Amino acid sequence: MSKLVESFRTHVQAQTKDGPQVAALRDEYPAMVEAMRGVPSEVPGETVWPCTVMLFLEGDTLKFCLNPKSGNRVAFGSVADASKGLSGVEQALVNGDFEWKARGRRSSS
């Protein structure tokens, strides 16, 4: 991890002053909280914006979508065993088991 990302994370943690519930959530699901808060990208000139995390059930599969507040892409992933819940989503985020896709355009009719 770059010093820039470490510095940003320290700054965000100091600025947000997480209450005990958010701190516990961050401790258990750090990648998911990072996605919801946003972090600077390690790629120069890019920013990872805060995302809305949406969950869907399809049979026994838990599907998730990361929808950044800015940009033209969304990420989709799935957890084959829905009983793994948020732990499964966290593991998928850590492992990179999701795919970025171009944001669909809606027609204005």
pLDDT tens per residue, range 18-76: 678 888 888 999 999 888 887 766 677 666 778 999 999 999 999 999 998 877 889 99
**What is the torsional sign of CA 41, 19, 51, 96?**
positive
pLDDT in tens, 81-90: 999 999 999 9
Is residue 17 situated within a structural domain? yes
Does the predicted model carry a pTM greater than 0.85?
no
Is residue 81 situated within a structural domain? yes
Number of folded domains that form the chain: 1
Is residue 107 situated within a structural domain? no
Q: What is the largest CA-CA distance in the chain?
A: 48
Give the distance, in angstroms, between the CA of residue 102 and the centroid of all CA atoms in the same chain: 17
- Output the pLDDT for position 16: 56
Structural domain boundaries enclosing 91: 3-102
